[in-house]
Amino acid sequence: MEGASATLEPLFAFLAHALATAETTFNKLPGSAVIQRYVKSSHQNDPGRTILELILVIFAIRTLLQSRTRADRNGKHFIQFSDKEVDELVDEWSPEPLAQPLTAIEQADLAAVPVVAGPNGPKPKLVSTGKTATNLTSFNFTGLAGNEHIKQKAVETLRKYGLGSCGPPGFYGTLDVHMDLERDIADFLGAEAAILYSQGFSTISSVIPAFCKRGDIIVADRGVNFAIQKGIQISRSTVRWFDHNDLNSLEDALISVEKERKKRRGPLTRRFIITEGIFERDGAMADLPKLIELKYKYKYRLILDETFSFGTVGRTGRGLTELYNVPATKVDMLLGSVAIGLCSSGGFCAGSQNVVDHQRINGPSFVFSASMPALLAVSASEGINILRSTPSILTSLQENVQAAHAILDRVDCITIPSHPASPVIHIQVRSQPGSSLHPSTAATMAIPGKQSNPHSILGKDSSSQDWDIDVEERLLQDVVDEALAQGVILSRAKRLRGQEMSDARPSIRLALTSALTKKETEKAVGIVKAALVKVLGKRR
């Protein structure tokens, strides 16, 4: 023992010396006295605390070191392989083909898509037949397509600006004509400001993630269109759904969200109601005044997609706000399509200056995309001028809509979920007798006492769906083919089956236009009626 301690003597001496040196160096450091005092006093008060703090420091160091390595590699699911094994696995692996070939039906559908030779308009010439036909499918609601004045303006713009803008808005892609169109749209609607996107479809799927972040709450209609679905998906917000176009169900959902928040005592997050003016899926129309009332009552912001109502309803085509006489400033984010409403290209979001400025930095498809060609912006501005100065366009459009409804309402093998004022008319196959209630009219058949689950996009009647997508699509395609043979271009509402959050009932989508006279419209819709009766009558 003694021998051992004797041999260890120099070591102890060294240790003592080292300790002394460390102590003096430590004391020399500025602020060391404070730390020393702190450790001493905390140890004196509560020795357990020293251990706890030590553990904390060790833990912190460990986390710092760990964050540099990828979690996947160290995760418990990671399996170590030797290089040879990896090579074997690589050899074994065979991927699925990149794309499945089209099925016969899909091929036929693709081949049946009408292709217009030359300009599109009320009576275009088709490539397939070489003949002209009446167009009840293209979005030319106010007859701006082919307008000579717009064409002339477009040529003038081309000669001044060229075609492409060759840059995103942030980097020399903002042209004066873009700012003019933004101002025109804002003025037209009566909003404070507007921002222009270069594609209508991408507008809302960019606006939603610009505002709605993780943790925010979105209450959305079950029947919203695909672009909204994608926007909601990418926003990662908490979503609650309400029954399609049923504002009672909306109120229930709003109340339940409030209850949930109170229960959780979570912080105040942004809350949004997302719905459409005229629904892309079935042409139903939202009750805007009631929506506004609810939004103020429960303190939500309203994102209203007016893709199919801007440029189509209201006295001069200003959309739902004009139709219901609601100031546009009450809608927080009002979106519309320049492509559909004004026969040009692009989309817009109108709102307060704050809302618009926020998007100029945070809207992904605004920031990262080239701005729209100048001549398209000028054409849209001209379109607004025309709508402003000629209210008769909208009047004749409404006459055509009424005429079409008058004819179609008498057909008993179909149902029309669309609003009587909507120039987009969806025609669905009426369910076979036996199942008396129709799901598309969910708003009217809401059974009191039975509420849908707001967590799921599938409504309460989803289990009792009494229609078969494939059968109905075939039937409707037959109607489309039959009408085309009689000289009317129709289209089924095309859906991305399997990619949508919930399936919409198959329908034929008519898009009426003021470019056709009432007589022409009646004649064309009469042909549609005959085709419907012929094809659907056979089914019985």
Partner 1 sequence: MPLNSPLPSPMAITKLPSPSMFKKRSSPSLTSAASYLSALSQADARARSVNRSSSPASTPALSLSSSITSSSEDTVLHEFDADDNADGLALPARPPTSEQVFTTVHTEFGHCANGEYRLTSQHTPGAEVPAHVDQDPPYYILFSTYISYLILICLGHVRDFVGKRLSPKSYKHLIPRDGYAPLNSDFDSFYTRRLKTRMDECFSQPVTGVAGRTILLLDRLSPDYNHTQVFTGTKTRALNISSYNYLGFAQARGGCADAVEECIKRYGISTCGSRLEGGSSDLHTISEALVAKFVGMEDALISSMGFATNSTYIPALVGKGCLVISDELNHASIRFGVRISGANVRMFKHNDMGSLEALLREVISQGQPKTHRPWKKILIIVEGLYSMEGTLVNLPGILELKKKYKFYLFVDEAHSIGALGPRGRGVADYFGVNPRGIDILMGTFTKSFGAAGGYIAGNKTLIDRLRVNGHSGAYAEAMTPPVLTQVIASMASIMGIALPSTSSSGTLRITPSSSCSTAVPAEESQHPGPAPSNSLPPWIQLPPSLASGSEGSTRLRRLAFNSRYLHNGLIKLGFITYGHPSSPIVPLLLFNPGKMNMFHRMMKDRQTPIIVVVVAYPATPLVTSRVRFCVSAAHTKEDVDCVLRACDEIGDVLDLKHGLGKRERWGVQRVLGSAVELAGM
Q: For residues 151-180, which are near partner 1 according to CB under 8 A?
A: 151, 154-155, 158-167, 169-177, 179
Q: Does 98 bind partner 1 (CB under 8 A)?
A: yes
Closest to partner 1 by CB, 163 vs 255, is 163
In terms of CB distance, is 118 or 289 closer to partner 1? 118
The single residue among 132, 190, 261, 370 that binds partner 1, judged by CB under 8 A, is 370
To the nearest 10 degrees (0 to 180), the angle between helices 518-539 and 469-485 is 130
Q: Which residues on adjacent β-strands are paired with residue 197?
A: 347
Window 273-332: residues binding partner 1 (CB under 8 A): 299, 301
For residue 257, state whether it binds partner 1 (rule: CB under 8 A).
Answer: no
Q: Is-contact 478 535, C-beta < 8 A? A: yes
Q: Which of residues 68-97 bind partner 1 (CB under 8 A)?
A: 72-73, 77-79, 81, 85-86, 89-90, 93-96
| 64 interacts with partner 1 by CB under 8 A | no
Of 369, 441, 462, 502, the residue at the interface with partner 1 (CB under 8 A) is: 369
Q: In what order do the strands lie in the sheet with 414-415?
A: 414-415, 424-429, 508-511
With CB under 8 A as the contact rule, the residue among 33, 62, 118, 435 that binds partner 1 is 118
Angle at which helix 32-45 crosses helix 2-28, to 10 degrees, equals: 120
How far apart are CB 360 and partner 1 at their closest, in Å? Answer: 7
> How far is Cα 334 from Cα 325, in angstroms, rounded to an integer?
15
User: In the complex, what is the shortest distance from the CB of residue 9 to partner 1, in angstroms, rounded to a whole number?
Assistant: 47
In the range 379-398, which residues lie near partner 1 by CB under 8 A?
379
Is 447 a binder of partner 1 (CB under 8 A)?
A: no
Binding positions for partner 1, 200-239, rule CB under 8 A: 200-202, 205, 211, 213, 216, 225-227, 230, 233-234
CA distances from 475 to 305, 329, 537, 540 (A): 31, 44, 11, 12
Q: Which residues contact 540 (CB under 8 A, 6 or more apart)?
A: none
* C-beta separation of 408 from 400 below 8 A: no
Output Rg (C-alpha) for the chain, integer angstroms.
Answer: 32
Question: Stretches 246-254, 374-382, 393-401, 525-533: which one binds partner 1 (CB under 8 A)?
Answer: 374-382
- CB contact at 8 A, 284 and 417: yes
Beta strand ranges found along 264-319 (DSSP E): 271-276, 301-305
Which of residues 123, 290, 495, 523 is near partner 1 by CB under 8 A?
Answer: 495
Burial class (CB in 10 A: 0-12, 13-18, 19+), 335: buried
Residue 404's identity, in one-letter code, is A
Does residue 123 bind partner 1 (CB under 8 A)?
A: no
106 binds partner 1 (CB under 8 A): yes
Residues 329-358 that bind partner 1 (CB under 8 A): 337, 339-340, 343-345, 354-355, 358
Ordered DSSP codes for 478-537: HHHHHHHHTTEE--B----TTTSSSPPPP-EEEE--TTS-HHHHHHHHHHHHHHHHHHHH
User: Footprint of partner 1 on residues 8-47 (CB under 8 A)?
Assistant: none
Least Å from the CB of residue 125 to partner 1: 9
Q: Report if residue 489 touches partner 1, rule: CB under 8 A.
A: yes
Residue 474 binds partner 1, judged by CB under 8 A: no
